[in-house]
Amino acid sequence: MYKKDLELERSWQRLLNELKEVIGKKPADLNGVLFLIGVQELGKGKRYFSKEEKQDLMHIAICKVLSYSGFYELEGLDEEGWPHWKLKKKLPSFDLLEQEKLLKMHVIEYFENEFN
């Protein structure tokens, strides 16, 4: 494992432990953290979400964190208050492992920027 990858994994585990302290449960994986970000970005608090809404929340979170690299830009909110994002530049062709690393890196950045 490269030093950079090891540092990312340590930062990721620290974030998961911090989230456990805040929400009382350690998110199982990246998808769980993305779901939390989506709920936070929607700003409507804790409530029941349909399967389709959960997918939309994941999309909101991915767009938000990838906006740090300029891939997405917030277009605005719809009449129900859901954020909509516009693709600004094409995403690189990454394998699944590289995609996960990019998302984890930006998720960590999200929590550093939004909550520190």
pLDDT in tens, 65-90: 999 999 999 999 999 999 999 999 99
A 10 A CB-CB count for 69 gives: 15
Give the rounded distance of the alpha carbon of 21 from its chain centre: 18
pLDDT digits (tens, 9 = 90+) for 14-56: 999 999 998 888 888 999 999 999 999 999 888 899 999 999 9
Q: Which pairs with CB-CB distance under 8 Å and at least 24 residues apart come from 67-70?
A: 68/106, 68/109, 68/110, 68/113, 69/102, 69/106
| Number of structural domains in the chain | 1
Residue-range definition of the domain harbouring residue 111? 3-115
DSSP 8-51: HHHHHHHHHHHHHHHHSS---SHHHHHHHHHHHHHTS-S----H
Render pLDDT for 89-107 as a digit per residue (tens, 0 to 9).
Answer: 998 888 888 999 999 999 9
